[in-house]
A = this chain, B = another copy of it.
Amino acid sequence: MSSTTDGGSGGDALDVGFIGLGIMGRHMAGHLQRAGHRLHVYNRSRGGAEALLAAGATWHDTPAALAAACRVVITIVGFPADVEALYLGSGAIVASAAAGTVLVDMTTSSPALALRIAEAAAARGVHALDAPVSGGDVGARDAALSIMVGGTQAAFDLAAPLLSRMGRSVLRQGGPGSGQHTKLANQIVIASTMVGVCEGLAYARRAGLDPQAVLGSISGGAAGGFLLSNMGPRMLCGDFAAGFFTEHFVKDLGIAVAESTRMGLDLPGLTLASRLYDELAAAGHARDGTQALFRRYAD
């Protein structure tokens, strides 16, 4: 029988570490804290941790110190190089975690790196999962993320109750790296869809139509989807503020191109979208949201 005196964790309160308190990470960590877990935090800048510290979280000065104190460590940082340094560098968390610890990287990163981390962890009796997410800042805030998990069933079973506090869909897709591969499949769909949304609306505008009225006609049909309904209106009013940074999408598409090339898979739509986003970032819009691809089609 679970107790309700643990603040809602639905089981034992755990020492849970969280590294990477950006726009998404701070929301996600907050859900774990409110579920009654003892939250431990580390971040490159302490500012991102203030609200969590005020609510009782414990600050650590290094990732290693955090890892040594926790049963589960969750990370969500920027780039694969950050993930590699955090997990496999000197004083990194794989080497610092006690046997039996569960490490969960929620960064969108390289499947090959996820595999290397899982192997290094297993050699020390540590569990590692790759568990990237979809749903953006709003999904993080509302605990409505889709979480795509790769790793052993045993590690998944240990982490799933925590992941369920942050996401609406928590699915194990296979062994180590499978979460990353699933997220890359997701980004590949998004990449060409975003091209289609930009081009359809650019065409409508150039043809002299009212693009808002066109959205009204086409959003409910076969062209319809999340991006048309959510990014289309932002494009049309020139709102390019980032929900998801172009520079992070450039990183994701770069990994997807490298992986598909490695697998001998020709994906011309991905190749095109990756080039268009590279050009967008090179033109100075790396910190715009991904909907800023519409700039390319501006009259």
The residues of A with any CB-CB pair to B shorter than 8 Å are 111, 134-136, 139, 146, 148, 168-169, 171, 173-174, 178, 181-182, 184-193, 195-204, 206-210, 213-214, 216-218, 220-228, 230, 256, 259-260, 263, 265, 267-270, 272-273, 276, 297
Chain B hits for A191, CB < 8 A: 196
Contact B173 A217 (CB under 8 A): yes
User: Which residues of B lie under 8 Å from residue A216 when comparing CB positions?
Assistant: 169, 171
A-B contact pairs, 13 of them (CB 8 A): A135-B221, A148-B218, A173-B210, A178-B209, A182-B217, A188-B199, A189-B197, A189-B228, A196-B269, A199-B270, A203-B267, A224-B225, A265-B297
Q: For chain A, what secondary structure do more than half of its interface residues adopt (helix, strand, loop), or is it mixed?
A: helix
Across the interface, which residues of B come within 8 angstroms of A276, CB to CB? 268
In the complex, chain B residues whose CB is within 8 Å of the CB of A197 = 189, 193
The CA-CA distance from A173 to B204 in the complex, in Å, is 10
Partner of A218, one of B189, B210, B256, B263: B189
Complex Cα distance A178/B210, Å?
A: 10
Least CB distance, A274 to chain B, in whole angstroms = 11
When the two chains form the complex, which single residue of B135, B221, B269 contacts A269, counting CB atoms closer than 8 Å? B269
The complex places the Cα of A209 from the Cα of B259 at a distance, in Å, of: 14
Quick one: given A134-B218, A203-B184, are A223 and B189 in contact (CB under 8 Å)?
yes
With contacts A134-B217, A181-B203 known, what are 15 further pairs, Cβ within 8 A? A134-B223, A182-B204, A182-B217, A184-B203, A184-B207, A185-B207, A188-B200, A189-B197, A190-B223, A193-B196, A195-B268, A199-B267, A199-B270, A206-B260, A207-B259
